[in-house]
Amino acid sequence: MSSVMVVDDSRSQRLVIQQYLEPLKCQVVLCGSGQEALSTIADTTPDVIILDVEMAGLSGFETCRALRGFLQNDWVPIIYLTGRSSPDDMVEGLEAGGDAYITKPVNEAVLRAMVQAMLRISSIQQELIEANKKLDEIAYFDVLTQVMNRRGYEDIYERLWNDHKRRKQSLCVMLLDIDHFKTYNDHYGHIAGDQCLRQVAKTIKSALKRPIDVIARYGGEEFVILLPDTNLEGAQSVAQRIIEALTQAAIPHEHSSCAKHVTVSIGIAECTDISKSQLSQSDLIQKADEALYQSKEQGRNRATCANLN
């Protein structure tokens, strides 16, 4: 249900406006002052605000400025009720953050039509916000593997790094590469290769037991995993679960030199206390990449921990 906040220091005027809005079947929140409106909006954000200009205490313009400051980027239509209709007054009100004027005495039909129009605009804006949110999700999503993409990983890695630095906690990074994936594509074809990527991503996700663990497609047949609040021992356990899960999945790979099923090589790197570490985000990834190379050199289908000394 849509909600309309009415801010007026006249009780009789508030009740009249509430009566005028009854046919709209919306929730009406009544506030007797600008201060009360600011207190109320801290708990619930209305879809439209009707604001009297001439009020004791905070004036309508002062209240509007304060409301806009509190709402920041959340746009809520604000309709002024006023007996002042000079061009200078209107300009001041619009510059304060208002969107429309209705002069007193208030005409019932005009008020209702104005509120309906603002509710439509507010609804359209909400639809646009939701659409943009979905576009952001798509921008961070790898359609093929159904996990986060490189852009999404970089964004969340930045946030996790800063959070762990503040809390002085341990963060582990793992890089995983599907062993002999070019050979797989050459033998089974690229359509089967795409299916293999999807199966591997799904298998890795199933081995991650905590919802805070992050998997993303790093590029090609390579994946990255971020393990918040995890030490090296914990990361090794996760890596072993992934290797065992792929063994259980038994995705055929007849031309692999290390097994008859699809396997991965894993590199692990840990930053124990980011607040004291000399490592940067890219340094930690580089260390994980070096450990991944060692896993490949040692025969693949295994996990290696980076030497950070």
Return the active site residues. 221
Q: In sequence order, which ranges of 72-149 are alpha helices (DSSP H)?
A: 87-95, 108-139
Q: For 216-231, give one letter per residue: b (16+ CB within 10 A) or e.
A: bbbeebbbbbbbbebe
Largest CA distance in the chain: 86
DSSP secondary structure code for residue 272 in this structure: S
Cβ neighbours for 275, distance < 8 A, ≥ 6 positions apart: 165, 166, 168
Q: What gap in Å lies between CA 132 and CA 138, rounded to an integer?
A: 10
- Report whether 103 contacts 83 (CB < 8 A): yes
